[in-house]
A and B are shown apart, each in its own frame.
Chain A
């Protein structure tokens, strides 16, 4: 629907930052609300566990 199309250009930004903090900080300096996730890879990057959890969780 046209009205729903691409509201991101119209609405105020509310950002979830996943990864390094620096990009989040530059957004905060511009007065943007940022929620920072101190992300780690699932299962701390253990691929065997990631594969298992793909099926089980």
Chain B
């Protein structure tokens, strides 16, 4: 045990300040006790009480500063007293951001705001979004689990005021080149998109970009907008806005099938729409839809992008719509390398729309595809954790995401599922999507490449080959480095396609060469 004292003559410090200094000194390693005091009689008595005395203390005046240290070793005492000047400097902590805690506070602080972005739990959205709409702001609601009656009230209110409600459960919009939520960095241009599915919009916009053209706006409507309950309020509002928008020449709608009444209303509206419209209603069989007037019907997202470009430039494109001869040959070669046991497809999707579209493509080929998010309700998976025959999974479904971020951000659940499927000797094809863009994982391929490689090794050890087919939704301007992502996949033996449509077509060809 060692003791040390320093006296600084005629140095007045505020007693509260000194308490703070004392706290910092007393927390240093090896220190038993410290006292940092002005030399008043009372304080000198305090020092005596804790065992510090001596001539030095006795002669101290009330205007002098005493610093006393009791520590384990003399070295510690010397170190503490040696750093006294440092300790007497005011500590500047990190000032916290002056935080706004309520939406009303923010409105008062930003009277020119025109968009409110909500990522709060769904049960609280209505009140806040209503306040936003009443204040004249448009609204983007990422939150899900907003009761449908509340969604309806919000959209009716918005409709009266010519405001947009993008959501609830809306992951993507691009307004005037600005990406909101999950969005890819795409060229600005004259083709617009509307849709309830974020990933559907993402892929459409990247395909338009890859074709050399650009996007004016992509308006997310929220996943329930086209139900008969909501009646497509945001979709209709977006159509109206885009009809008047001088930056937009062509509009595409990418969605799952609308409710029957809404589909009818949409058909009527589109028959008088003054700009070309391309509709892609996934899951609606092509025989039931027909193009007429300025409306073109696209069976797949790839078709939607191709047709939108054709409408824009006024000529038919030369792009092949089916698989190329090389791809057909590749499919035939790949089949040869499967073991006798291998026969099934397993799709592990982050993009729910891609999962749905894959089912559409394969069902058309006569394949029986099961899913946790089935297009054919008779093919719903009994247990979401157990695949049956050909199965494609929407890993963004609640069954897999409870308590976790979406698979676009967090790879954990997809890694587990890929590993599981890889252990099944009857699996021949693994189909995976990768989505780049803002707010998505910094390295979507890197996140999954290890389980993919191990699954391929497992199949190889069984004298077969696991065919892994992937699509990447992204552009060269997205921050994840598209060409690197592609190369990583190719190096791992994965067959890579630039769209989920083509990846699904390839898988259909693998399973049903026909």
Complex contact flag A–B (Cβ < 8 Å)? yes
Q: Which residues of A line the B interface, CB within 8 A?
A: 2, 4-20, 22-24, 26-27, 29-30, 32-33, 35-42
Beta-carbon contact of B121 and A41 below 8 Å: yes
Q: Cβ of B12: which chain A residues have Cβ within 8 Å of it?
A: none
A-B contact pairs, 5 of them (CB 8 A): A6-B163, A6-B164, A9-B175, A14-B113, A15-B113
4 closest cross-chain pairs (CB), A and B: A19-B119, A6-B241, A26-B438, A19-B120
Give Cα A33–Cα B164 distance, bound, in whole angstroms: 19
Give Cα A24–Cα B120 distance, bound, in whole angstroms: 13
Q: Cβ of A20: which chain B residues have Cβ within 8 Å of it?
A: 119
Beta-carbon contact of A35 and B100 below 8 Å: yes
Q: Cβ of A32: which chain B residues have Cβ within 8 Å of it?
A: 178
Q: Cβ of A8: which chain B residues have Cβ within 8 Å of it?
A: 114-115, 138, 163-164, 175, 241
A30-B179 CB under 8 A given contacts A16-B106, A18-B119: yes
Beta-carbon contact of B179 and A39 below 8 Å: no
In the complex, which of the residues B115, B181, B241 has the most CB atoms of chain A within 10 Å of its own CB atom? B115
Give Cα A39–Cα B128 distance, bound, in whole angstroms: 11
Tell me if B's interface is mostly helix, strand, loop or mixed. Answer: mixed
B116 CB within 8 Å of chain A: yes
Size of B's binding interface in residues, CB under 8 A:
47
Task: Write the nearest CB–CB distance from A43 to chain B, whole angstroms.
Answer: 11
Beta-carbon contact of B105 and A37 below 8 Å: yes
A18-B117 CB under 8 A given contacts A2-B244, A37-B101, A39-B102: yes
Task: Write the nearest CB–CB distance from A46 to chain B, whole angstroms.
Answer: 13
Beta-carbon contact of B237 and A15 below 8 Å: no
List 9 additional A-B contacts (Cβ < 8 Å) besides A16-B115, A39-B102: A6-B164, A9-B217, A16-B107, A16-B116, A19-B119, A23-B117, A37-B102, A38-B99, A40-B101
Q: Cβ of B240: which chain A residues have Cβ within 8 Å of it?
A: 5-6
Beta-carbon contact of B103 and A13 below 8 Å: no
In the complex, which of the residues A2, A9, A11, A17 has the most CB atoms of chain B within 10 Å of its own CB atom? A9
B180 CB within 8 Å of chain A: yes
Beta-carbon contact of A16 and B110 below 8 Å: yes
Task: Out of B124, B138, B180, name the residue touching A23 (CB < 8 Å).
Answer: B180
Beta-carbon contact of B175 and A39 below 8 Å: no
Interface residues of B in 200-237 (CB under 8 A from A): 217, 237
Beta-carbon contact of B103 and A14 below 8 Å: no
B454 CB within 8 Å of chain A: no
By beta carbon, the residue of chain A nearest B142 is A23
Contact mask for chain B residues 246-278; partner A; CB cutoff 8 A; 1 contact, 0 none: 010000000000000000000000000000000
Beta-carbon contact of A35 and B119 below 8 Å: no
Q: Cβ of B180: which chain A residues have Cβ within 8 Å of it?
A: 23, 27
B280 CB within 8 Å of chain A: no
Give Cα A5–Cα B124 distance, bound, in whole angstroms: 28
Q: Cβ of A36: which chain B residues have Cβ within 8 Å of it?
A: 99-100
Give Cα A18–Cα B443 distance, bound, in whole angstroms: 27
Q: Cβ of A24: which chain B residues have Cβ within 8 Å of it?
A: 117
A39-B120 CB under 8 A given contacts A13-B175, A13-B178: yes
Give Cα A22–Cα B181 distance, bound, in whole angstroms: 9
Q: Cβ of A27: which chain B residues have Cβ within 8 Å of it?
A: 117, 178, 180
B137 CB within 8 Å of chain A: yes
B382 CB within 8 Å of chain A: no
Beta-carbon contact of B244 and A5 below 8 Å: yes
Beta-carbon contact of B162 and A35 below 8 Å: no
A16-B101 CB under 8 A given contacts A6-B162, A9-B176: no
Task: Out of A10, A23, A26, A39, name the residue touching B103 (CB < 8 Å).
Answer: A39
Contact mask for chain B residues 162-188; partner A; CB cutoff 8 A; 1 contact, 0 none: 111000000000011011110000000
Beta-carbon contact of B179 and A6 below 8 Å: no
